[in-house]
Homo-oligomer: A and B are copies of this chain.
Amino acid sequence: MTDLSGDIFKTIDPDRTGTTSEEVISQLREMIHRGELRPGDRLPPERDLAKLLGVSRPTLRAGIRSLAAVGVLRSRQGAGTFVVKADGPPSLDSSPLRLMASLHGFTSGEMFEARQSLEMAVAGLAAERATSEHMATLSEEIAGMYASLDDPEQFLVHDMRFHQTVAAASGNRILTSLMNMVATILFDVRRKTVNRAKDLKESAEMHRQVYRAVRARDKEAAQNAMRDHLMRAQKAQESEEMDDSAVVAAGDGSIS
């Protein structure tokens, strides 16, 4: 925890540019940039902080809410407002992308393609940089997949963890975050469908192909294996949605 009792909170200049709440956002952002607020830190109570910044509580709350909406702050009633703690990989909220998809009518084909590009990129990097721990985890998740061929929900858990491990092995947290953003949306769709046993076995097999390529430090092979895997997964999911026409109300391939 960082001591926040000092005078790091400066009052807002009345002759500011833009609205007051925007100034509050800038103020908080700057403090994070400068490292005065670090992950896990607790902000002063709203009433105190409002006084410190020289604004009203609603205005301060507006600023806090904006930062909370983008996943930087998190308020818990009765406890306080905290800078989001980085437990595990940093992740960007996927709801902005989700809304963007609704607004512009992104097709699931586009979403699949984006994921494929990102996954291929991280797979290539993972082949170059994966540590032995990463390799071990990948192997475990594949074993988990084979062990849950008759439990689609459990299979999906191992599936997600496998891809997250590949992303972690890439060593690039930005690509990892972006990939998770896209993958989360697709997994949410998939969670509503029921995978057939045949598809699951094939899927496990293709994950193993990716793993072997990464283990062999073969960048191109890893990218190709990942591309093939995701292409098959897309086709499988699409045919499944064709079978069960009730999955998507409109049935036009748009993101739910």
Q: Is the CB of B172 within 8 A of A113?
A: yes
| Chain B residues, Cβ within 8 Å of A71 | 96, 100
- Indicate the size class of the contact surface on chain A: 35 or more
Measured in the bound complex, the distance between the Cα atoms of B38 and A58 in whole Å is 29
Interface residues of A in 240-254 (CB under 8 A from B): none
Which residues from B are CB-within-8-Å of A151? none
Cα–Cα, bound, A121→B118 (Å) = 8
Given A70-B69, A178-B178, verify A93-B96 contact (CB < 8 Å): yes
Query: Least Cβ distance of A39 to chain B in Å?
Result: 6
A178 to B118, CA, bound (A): 10
CA distance A177 to B19 in the complex (A): 27
Question: Which residues of chain B have C-beta atoms less than 8 A from A102's C-beta?
Answer: 32-33, 35
Interface residues of A in 171-198 (CB under 8 A from B): 172-175, 177-178, 181-182
Q: Which residues of B contact A21 (CB under 8 A)?
A: 65
Residues on B with beta carbons closer than 8 Å to the beta carbon of A70? 69-70, 93, 95-96, 99
- Given known contacts A90-B104, A173-B106, A99 and B72 CB-to-CB distance under 8 angstroms: yes
How far apart are the CA atoms of A175 and B97 in the complex, in Å?
A: 11
Contacts of A93 in B (CB 8 A): 70, 96
Question: Smallest distance from the beta carbon of A220 to chain B beta carbons, Å?
Answer: 11
Contact B84–A90 (Cβ < 8 Å): no
A positions within 8 Å CB-CB of B = 19, 21, 29, 32-33, 35, 38-39, 58, 61-62, 65-72, 77, 83-84, 86, 90, 92-93, 95-97, 99-104, 106, 110-111, 113-114, 117-118, 120-122, 125, 172-175, 177-178, 181-182, 256
17 A-B contacts (beta carbon < 8 Å): A66-B66, A66-B69, A69-B70, A72-B99, A86-B104, A90-B103, A110-B172, A110-B173, A110-B174, A111-B174, A113-B174, A114-B172, A114-B174, A117-B117, A117-B125, A174-B182, A178-B182
